[in-house]
């Protein structure tokens, strides 16, 4: 995705071109490091099973699994590796692990970038407006996982109802869903045959039960901001620590990413500094916990929840 979604005078074209260069080395270091961390936490979970020490290890393992989506997101932008096929291969592997097929993510995410905060066209806004209850159900996982799993089942049955999916991609998404479903069924059959809980213990349970930590990133990016078609207004940057930026592949620099989505994850800190600090402007920004606190209070304050706030208003801010 090489489109530019913000005024071009924020950065010189030659500098943007330089920042947009892909690197196989940086891609392997980031992806390899993330998988190595998951392998280490999985092994530590194995060693501590049956003790109280397994609880924090389980949480860390689940968080690392969930934040693999940051990698899948970058693979959908083709920005992790300079060698293009590697982006597709690992995007599909992670999409399988995330129960979030790669081609569907690419289609949905393209619609999200091209129509950010447009209720009629944004791929991430095909939902009812939040009440406090519906938001909490989404944040903690029940409705989130229900939607994700039933979508695969529905598409595997040949029904694609998302309005942003082009007719030319529907056959691809149906085939992809069927292949995912077949893979999950084979894992389930193997687990029964070998009487093994490994897939549940080291993959499904930590993935599903720690989703709320990853939801802090998913929800802070646009929720509570104006639906004006201006990236500098409708997208939020997250203030956090270096460890969270590492496991989230720098997606906290979300305004910079939306402005110039062709820039790889490892160049986002520089891009952020140049388009904001270099021009004396600042993006919308909040901390993870500060955002959740303000959001929950705002949703609780009005009976209609999100629908009670105008689309042209910022209703969650510091």
Tell me the pLDDT tens digit for each residue of 224-273: 999 999 999 999 999 999 999 999 999 999 999 999 999 999 999 999 99
Other CB atoms within 10 A of residue 303 CB? 9
Q: Is the pLDDT of residue 54 over 60?
A: yes
Asked whether 31 and 90 are in contact (CB, 8 A), the reply is yes
Query: Can you tell me the mean pLDDT for 286-312?
Result: 96
Tell me the pLDDT tens digit for each residue of 168-211: 999 999 999 999 999 999 999 999 999 999 999 999 999 999 99
Query: Can you tell me the mean pLDDT for 78-98?
Result: 97
Tell me the pLDDT tens digit for each residue of 100-141: 999 999 999 999 999 999 999 999 999 999 999 999 999 999
Helix, strand, or coil (residue 166): coil
d(C-alpha 100, C-alpha 109), whole Å: 12
Asked whether 34 and 26 are in contact (CB, 8 A), the reply is no
How far is Cα of residue 182 from the mean position of the Cα atoms in its chain? 24
pLDDT at 5: 57
pLDDT at 2: 56
pLDDT at 90: 98
Which pairs from 23-27 meet CB under 8 Å and 24+ separation? 23/82, 23/264, 23/266, 24/81, 24/82, 24/83, 24/86, 26/264, 26/266, 27/80, 27/81, 27/82, 27/86, 27/264
Instruction: List, in order, residues 6 or more apart from 32 with CB less than 8 Å away.
Output: none
pLDDT at 77: 96
Q: Is the pLDDT of residue 58 over 60?
A: yes
Q: Is the pLDDT of residue 3 over 70?
A: no
Q: Is the pTM of this model over 0.85?
A: yes
pLDDT at 9: 80
Query: Can you tell me the mean pLDDT for 30-59?
Result: 98
d(C-alpha 245, C-alpha 175), whole Å: 35
pLDDT at 8: 66
> Which run of H or of E encompasses 193?
helix 170-193
Residue 116 backbone zone (phi > 0: left; psi -120 to 50: alpha; other: beta):
beta
Query: Can you tell me the mean pLDDT for 11-38?
Result: 96
d(C-alpha 124, C-alpha 112), whole Å: 6
pLDDT at 6: 59
d(C-alpha 114, C-alpha 109), whole Å: 9
pLDDT at 278: 85
- What percent of the chain stands above pLDDT 70? 97
d(C-alpha 253, C-alpha 293), whole Å: 21
* pLDDT-derived band at 217, boundaries 50, 70, 90: very high
Asked whether 96 and 72 are in contact (CB, 8 A), the reply is no
CA distances, 225 to each of 85, 146, 204, 282, 309 (Å): 36, 26, 33, 15, 10
Residue 204 tokens read as 């499904």
* pLDDT-derived band at 69, boundaries 50, 70, 90: very high
């Amino acid at each position: 995705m090489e489109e530019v979604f913000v005024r071009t005078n924020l950065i010189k074209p030659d500098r943007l071109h330089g920042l947009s260069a892909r690197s196989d080395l940086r891609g392997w270091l980031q992806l390899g490091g993330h998988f190595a961390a998951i392998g280490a936490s999985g092994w530590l979970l194995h060693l501590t099973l049956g003790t109280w020490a397994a609880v924090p290890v389980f949480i860390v393992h689940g968080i690392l699994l969930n934040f693999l989506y940051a990698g899948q997101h970058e693979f959908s932008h083709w920005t992790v590796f300079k060698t293009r096929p590697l982006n597709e291969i690992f995007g599909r592997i992670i999409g399988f692990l995330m129960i979030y097929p790669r081609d569907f993510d690419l289609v949905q995410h393209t619609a999200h970038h091209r129509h950010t905060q447009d209720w009629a066209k944004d791929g991430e806004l095909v939902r009812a407006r939040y009440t406090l209850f519906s938001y909490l159900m989404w944040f903690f996982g029940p409705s989130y996982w229900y939607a994700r799993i039933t979508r695969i089942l529905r598409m595997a049955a040949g029904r694609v109802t998302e309005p942003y999916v082009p007719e030319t991609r529907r056959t691809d998404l149906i085939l992809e869903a069927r292949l995912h479903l077949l893979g999950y069924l084979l894992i389930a059959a193997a687990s029964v045959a070998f009487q093994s809980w490994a897939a549940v213990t080291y993959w499904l349970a930590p993935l599903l039960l720690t989703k709320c930590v990853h939801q802090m990133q998913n929800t802070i990016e646009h929720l509570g901001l104006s639906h004006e078609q201006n990236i500098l207004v409708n997208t939020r940057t997250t203030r956090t620590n270096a460890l969270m930026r590492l496991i989230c592949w720098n997606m906290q620099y979300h305004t910079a990413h939306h402005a110039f989505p062709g820039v790889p994850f490892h160049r986002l800190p520089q891009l952020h500094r140049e388009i904001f600090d270099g021009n004396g402007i600042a993006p919308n920004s909040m901390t993870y916990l500060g955002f959740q606190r303000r959001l929950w209070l705002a949703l609780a304050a009005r009976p209609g929840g999100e629908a009670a706030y105008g689309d042209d208003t910022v209703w969650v801010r510091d």
